Amino acid sequence: MNYKQTTVSGDSWVRATRVVIENQLDGIPSINFVEEQVVNIGAEQIKRLVSNVCTSMTDQTATFPLVNPATGLATGTTASYGEIYVLLHSLYLDLAAKRDAV
């Protein structure tokens, strides 16, 4: 017998909870997505770390399909690892400039 045993129903999914980007000097940039499982049971939400998805960004020409984060549907376009690197580099420079202007 399990004390206060209850039958429950809910839903569960896996999502990226953290993104770690390594850009070491004289190294190959890499990206690591830390995944968590989210379980909704009634009004309670339980989260637990489950896995990682990672890659080095050696091939800047490698592409991947873009997905709308609101709908989960493919947009029909792609982006390259090089474009992601340019976007992140540009975001860093913009944020640093705004911080330094204060």
> What are the pLDDT digits (tens) for 45-85?
999 999 999 999 999 999 999 999 999 999 999 999 999 99
Q: Is the pLDDT of residue 42 over 90?
A: no
Query: What whole-number distance in Å separates Cα of residue 102 and Cα of residue 96?
Result: 10
Q: What are the extents of the domains in the chain?
A: 1-57, 59-102
Q: pLDDT above 70 covers what percent of the chain? A: 100
Which residues share a beta bridge with 54? 32
pTM: 0.84
